[in-house]
Homo-oligomer: A and B are copies of this chain.
C-alpha cells in the first residue's frame, strides 16, 4: 500500500512531515526530502522498522522495485489527487491500483488509551480557555480580537496549535454556522457563538458555547432551550451500538416539530483530524462503538437574526457517553458593567 495522507502516516509511524509511506512485501519505506530527513531520523528508532530515503537519492529503477511481484497496490482514493494517481502508476510501474476505502481512517475511529488521554488534555485546555474568555470579553472588542485571544491562549498554555480557526460570531453574524470573525464590535444584547478547539500532541478538541452580553434576548430563549434540550438528549443516545441515522433523525424531527431545521450534521468524529469519520446525521449510516470520540453539536440559525449552537466533544464508553468538554451550558451572561 502507498500511504500518502500525512495524518495517516503520523498515526501509523509518529512521523510529522511531508512524504510518502510505502508498506511493501519486503519492508516499510518512508520517502521524504532534504527539508525533513533530519527531523524524521530524530523521530524514528531502529524498532520502528522503517527505512528512510531522500527522494533525490532514488533512481527510476529503484521506484519500480518497491512493488515488484505485487498483484495489487492499495492507495488512498479520498486523499490522492487524480494527477498523483497517474504519477504513482507511472513512477512505480504498478499494474493494478486498488481503492482502500478509508482503511486507515476506519482504524483511527477507535481511540486507544494514549489517544484518549491526549484528547482529554486538549478538551481541558478548551474549558480553561472558555473560563478565561468569560473574564476577557468586553463590550467594544471585535470578534477578531476575541478569536486572536483564543489562539494566543491555546498556544501559550501547552497546546500545539488550534484545531481549526476559532469562530466568534456575534449578533446577526451568529446566524451563519461557519462565520469568519469580523471587525464587528461586541455590544450589549449580543448573542455570541464561540466555536473553538486546540491540538494537544496532535489530537484535537472541539467545543461550542453560545453566550450573551448583559441579558438573554427574549426571542433567543426558546431557541436556546430547544438546542440545549436536544444537545443533552443526544448525549443519552451516544452509546455503544447507537445508530447515527436514527440519532440524527431524532434531533431533526424534534427541531421540525418546533418549526426549525437542523441544517448541518449533528456531529463528527474527532482525533488527529478535527473532522473524522463517523458523521452523525440522518444522512449517514454508522454504528457508534466504545472508544469513539465524537461531537454533539445541534444548532439553529435564523438568517438575519441570530443563531445558537452548543457542542461538546464526547467519548463513547461501555456505559454510555462521557463529555470531555465540561464548560457551563446554562445561560452564560457577561455583564458589561
The interface on chain A, measured as residues whose beta carbon lies within 8 A of the other chain's beta carbons, has a size of: 40
Q: Enumerate chain A interface residues (CB-CB to B < 8 A).
A: 16-18, 33-36, 38-39, 75, 77-83, 85-86, 99, 144-145, 147-148, 151-152, 155-156, 161, 165, 175-180, 263-264, 301, 303
Which of chain B's residues have a CB closer than 8 A to the CB of A34?
177, 263-264
Query: Which residue from chain B places its CB closest to the CB of A172 in the assembled complex?
Result: B38
Find out whether the CB atom of B145 lies under 8 angstroms from the CB atom of A176: no
Which of chain B's residues have a CB closer than 8 A to the CB of A152?
148, 151-152
Q: Can you list 15 pairs linking A and B with CB atoms under 8 Å apart?
A: A17-B178, A34-B264, A35-B176, A35-B177, A35-B263, A39-B176, A39-B179, A39-B180, A77-B82, A77-B86, A78-B81, A82-B85, A82-B99, A148-B151, A151-B152
Nearest chain B CB to A129 CB, angstrom units: 14
Rounded to whole angstroms, the CA-CA distance of A145 and B303 in the bound complex is 40
Nearest chain B CB to A19 CB, angstrom units: 11
Query: Which residue from chain B places its CB closest to the CB of A54 in the assembled complex?
Result: B263
Query: Which residue from chain B places its CB closest to the CB of A16 in the assembled complex?
Result: B180
Nearest chain B CB to A18 CB, angstrom units: 8
Which of chain B's residues have a CB closer than 8 A to the CB of A179?
39
Rounded to whole angstroms, the CA-CA distance of A131 and B82 in the bound complex is 44
Which of chain B's residues have a CB closer than 8 A to the CB of A33?
263-264
Which of chain B's residues have a CB closer than 8 A to the CB of A147?
155
- Closest A-B pairs by Cβ, 6 of them: A34-B263, A148-B155, A77-B83, A35-B177, A77-B82, A35-B178
Rounded to whole angstroms, the CA-CA distance of A170 and B319 in the bound complex is 48
Find out whether the CB atom of B77 lies under 8 angstroms from the CB atom of A264: no
Nearest chain B CB to A152 CB, angstrom units: 5
**Further 11 A-B residue pairs, CB within 8 A, beyond A33-B263, A38-B176, A79-B81:** A16-B180, A34-B177, A34-B264, A36-B176, A39-B176, A75-B82, A77-B83, A78-B81, A78-B83, A80-B81, A81-B81
Find out whether the CB atom of B303 lies under 8 angstroms from the CB atom of A38: yes
Which of chain B's residues have a CB closer than 8 A to the CB of A144?
155
Which of chain B's residues have a CB closer than 8 A to the CB of A303?
38
Nearest chain B CB to A287 CB, angstrom units: 22
Rounded to whole angstroms, the CA-CA distance of A180 and B42 in the bound complex is 13
Rounded to whole angstroms, the CA-CA distance of A63 and B289 in the bound complex is 36
Nearest chain B CB to A177 CB, angstrom units: 4
Query: Which residue from chain B places its CB closest to the CB of A97 in the assembled complex?
Result: B82
Name A77's contact: one of B38, B77, B81 (CB within 8 Å). B81
Which of chain B's residues have a CB closer than 8 A to the CB of A80?
81-82
Find out whether the CB atom of A156 lies under 8 angstroms from the CB atom of B148: yes
Name A35's contact: one of B16, B38, B83, B264 (CB within 8 Å). B264
Rounded to whole angstroms, the CA-CA distance of A75 and B81 in the bound complex is 11
Nearest chain B CB to A272 CB, angstrom units: 15
- Residue of A86, A148, A175 with highest tally of chain B CB at under 10 A: A148
Which of chain B's residues have a CB closer than 8 A to the CB of A86?
77
Which of chain B's residues have a CB closer than 8 A to the CB of A83?
77-78, 99
Rounded to whole angstroms, the CA-CA distance of A262 and B33 in the bound complex is 12
